[in-house]
Amino acid sequence: MTIIILAVALIILLCVLAEKFSDKFGMPALILFMFIGMLFGSDGIFGIPFENFKLAENICSIALVFIMFYGGFNTKWDAAKSVALESISLASLGVVITAGITTILCHAVLRLSLEESFLIGSVLASTDAASVFAILRKKNLNLKDGTASILEVESGSNDPVAYLLTIIAIGIINQTDSGNIFITIALQIILGIVIGIIMAKLSSFVMTKTGLISEGLDMIFVISMLLVCYGITAFLGGNAYLSVYLFGILLGNSKIKHKQTLIPFFDGVTSLAQILIFFLIGLLTFPHQMPAIIPTAFAIVVFITIVARPVAVFLLLLPQKCSLGKCSLIAFAGLRGAASSVFAIMAVAAGVSMKQDLFHIVFTVSLFSVAIQGTLLPFVSQKLEMVDENADVRKTFNDYQEETSLQLMRMHIPEGHEWDGQKIKNVNLPTGSLALMIKRGKETIITKGDTRIHAGDNLILSIPPYNTNETENLEERYITKADEWCDKMIGELHLPKDVLIAMVIRGEESIIPDGKTMLMENDIVVMFQ
């Protein structure tokens, strides 16, 4: 037992170091996790014999639950809702189209049976949230026109559809009687949505309206509710992955207490889950078997990357007035990874018998995808002129916080203001603030104590930085180009009666707004309600 514990500790330590040094190797850290697994596997240096696909399925399924939950929990809906239609269409119809085209090509070109082709297409139909999130955040890849949000929501929410197709494909190959397929699909979707919403609302109510959760036990409570959500949905025959993703996105965007401590905790848990999945994938791999399936795997990579994924993206997004550059980048960014390999493990564990080695095909496709597409994604983004130097991709996540230690506030002095004609040293400035300068027409005046204020001046103050805390009922809304508030005056917005826009943060400047204040792209709107 001691040896096992030491081995596990060594594996985790190696994966942590791989994350640290991934940039030096010029490849995503997830690939290094796979290689570490292969190093410990049957064909590796340590030669650990491991072929228990059923055990691997159980472990990877739970790990995938945490990845999907956190994908929703850390998605900032205010930044994502403007691109929700594009994201959801890709996550649903896009997955079906990708699976369908891949099925046709595998059957027609590779001469695989229609059933086997459908299983391969289904398993590889979804994009990988872990890979997409890791590249966007690690490379700080700021993309134009809400493209980062589209990729985040799509990759976080398309696994349930791919899972559903995989279950159908497994049933067809194994000839299991699963009843009416349309009823099965309807139950999967309806139960997944309903239970996810109920569990999110219940959890939010308990955490905000009751005192049932003792101090410091919020994390344990959320984990337990997450597992209950997954367990109930799976037991009733619903789509458990859809349920936990919806649970995450609703809970993460509600006003629960201690959210800023929950996010780093689940970020760490999700990192461990990613390490576990990719390590197990590597551990299950037999490198000596891979040369035989490389031609098939490479052909499938070409099918998906050059044909299936681009057709699905252009077919769905061009009618929604997406630019060619945006469509091209989204098509290229369809990385395959953990989810596809987990679904392949599920198929093997379910006893699927194929002429081709399904697991090693999917593993090789994922390896090509993450290593080649993932590495080239920043370069392709630059070539397509889709990088936005003025944006910050971190703002599309719930864990984003402003890092500036200095905030500026512009205070306009109208006619008749009590400060008109007064010296700086004689006015009562807000607590903790300092007068830095006066903007008077085209003139900028550096203020001193004897500087006199005139009507029409814009007084620039430095103030303590804005930070939310658990007792404030404040929310931030990041204004993207596609946001319905962008380029509108506050007076033109149809705000609820109990909502007040208290501040607009524009770069390093904090603006106390009025009805004529124009909201612009990249503004952060601070609302009190």
Token duo for residue 203: 């959890």
- Looking at the structure of the chain, the number of domains it has is 3
Q: Per residue in 266-275, is it b (16+ CB within 10 Å) or e — as a string?
A: beebbbebbb
Q: Answer yes or no: do 306 and 283 share one domain.
A: yes
Q: Answer yes or no: do 306 and 374 share one domain.
A: yes
pLDDT tens-place string over residues 428-442: 887 767 888 898 888
Report the DSSP beta bridge partners of residue 440.
Answer: 443
| Structural domain ending residue among the three candidates 419, 439, 459 | 459
Pick from 177-186, 243-252, 374-383: least confident: 177-186
pLDDT bucket at 27, cuts 50 / 70 / 90: low
* Average of per-residue pLDDT across 280-286: 88
Q: Answer yes or no: do 354 and 481 share one domain.
A: no
The mean of the pLDDT values for the chain is: 84
Range of the domain at 277: 53-386
Token duo for residue 89: 């269409």
The predicted pLDDT at position 394 comes to 59
CATH number at residue 486: 3.30.70.1450
The predicted pLDDT at position 129 comes to 75
Q: Answer yes or no: do 265 and 340 share one domain.
A: yes
Token duo for residue 27: 């490849």
* Average of per-residue pLDDT across 222-248: 94
Please report where in the chains the tokens 């031609």 appear, as a residue.
295
Measured between alpha carbons, how far is 133 from 139 in angstroms, rounded to an integer? 10
pLDDT bucket at 199, cuts 50 / 70 / 90: very high
Q: Answer yes or no: do 171 and 91 share one domain.
A: yes
Look at residue 86 and tell me whether its pLDDT is greater than 70: yes
Q: Does this model's pTM top 0.85?
A: no
Q: Answer yes or no: do 473 and 368 share one domain.
A: no
* Average of per-residue pLDDT across 50-78: 88
The predicted pLDDT at position 402 comes to 45
Measured between alpha carbons, how far is 296 from 360 in angstroms, rounded to an integer? 10
Pick from 79-83, 107-111, 309-313, 396-400: least confident: 396-400
The predicted pLDDT at position 302 comes to 93
Nearest residue to 133 via CA among 448, 398, 350, 347? 398
Q: Answer yes or no: do 517 and 440 share one domain.
A: no
CATH number at residue 353: 1.20.1530.20
* Average of per-residue pLDDT across 513-529: 83
Q: Answer yes or no: do 60 and 197 share one domain.
A: yes
β-strands 458-463, 407-412: how paired? antiparallel
Look at residue 404 and tell me whether its pLDDT is greater than 50: no
Residue 20 lies inside a defined structural domain of this protein: no
Percent share of the chain, pLDDT over 90: 31
Please state, in angstroms and as integers, the Cα–Cα distance from residue 46 to each residue in 8, 41, 53, 70, following that order: 13, 7, 20, 33
pLDDT tens-place string over residues 305-363: 999 999 999 999 999 889 999 999 999 998 888 889 899 999 999 988 887 789 999 98
